[in-house]
Copies of this chain bind each other. A is one copy, B any other.
């Protein structure tokens, strides 16, 4: 049943084959995010993608290779989307944060399965995508981002009480956790608004100016020219 060599004869029998494979991968990832990888069989993935199990094996060989494809073809490009535009040498810290937050919301709007998959299969202990996903984290960029924040602190532009290396962790927590746990929050409070615009406004406002920030921000704009540099 497994077809290790993906003979082109077989591929050309379906047209367009790569679209069908991509559609199956999308159906698979949505199902894996919803049910959890450990609870999802190849037969269920095939059914979700409206193909036979044999086709799943034909395109992805084994279940492990399917998980490789999820990370390499779907998750890793998202990491690039978020991090590639970050210029850790020349960017202004606050603008870098706004950019990262905006792109994370773009990505989760396009890929609504991402927050659940992130919670369940990457950060959760025993998550089945953790090792694969960690290999694609742009470590240099993340470290450079922390250094950029630290330089912003030394110039007096960034709150000196923050830990530069924890800022990305905080962004990730604020953007991803409410989306990953939306079901629970709606049960606790059915009136809770978790649409993108409300969540993005809230997260950006908190990251930029904090709870005390409304009046303080207005004041600092108003008195910007007389502000001390301390």
Instruction: Give min CB distance, A36 to chain B, whole Å.
Output: 6
Stretch of A3-11, A16-24, A79-87, A180-188 at the chain-chain interface: A180-188
Given contacts A169-B185, A189-B143, A208-B212, contact A124 B126 (CB under 8 A): no
Instruction: Determine whether the beta carbon of A205 is less than 8 Å from that of B162.
Output: yes
A1 contacts partner chain B, Cβ-Cβ < 8 Å: no
Given contacts A39-B126, A161-B201, contact A227 B219 (CB under 8 A): yes
Instruction: Determine whether the beta carbon of B220 is less than 8 Å from that of A209.
Output: no
A77 contacts partner chain B, Cβ-Cβ < 8 Å: no
Residues of B contacting A180 with CB < 8 Å? 123
Residues of B contacting A174 with CB < 8 Å? 170, 173-174
Given contacts A126-B39, A220-B215, contact A177 B167 (CB under 8 A): no
Q: How far is the CA of A227 from the CA of B215 in the complex (A)?
A: 8
Q: Mark A209-230, 1 if CB is under 8 A from B, else 0.
A: 1111111111110111011111
Which of the four size classes fits the interface of chain A? 35 or more
A190-217, CB < 8 A from B: 191-194, 198-199, 201-217
A94 contacts partner chain B, Cβ-Cβ < 8 Å: yes
Residues of B contacting A47 with CB < 8 Å? none
A106 contacts partner chain B, Cβ-Cβ < 8 Å: no
The contact of A216 among B39, B178, B219, by CB within 8 Å, is B219
A13-47, CB < 8 A from B: 36, 39
Instruction: Across the A-B interface, give the 8 residue pairs with the lowest CB-CB distance, nearest first.
Output: A161-B205, A210-B210, A216-B220, A173-B173, A159-B214, A173-B177, A163-B202, A209-B210
Q: List 18 A-B contacts (CB under 8 A).
A: A123-B181, A123-B184, A125-B183, A157-B215, A159-B205, A159-B214, A161-B209, A162-B211, A166-B199, A166-B202, A169-B185, A173-B174, A206-B206, A212-B213, A212-B217, A213-B213, A213-B216, A215-B229
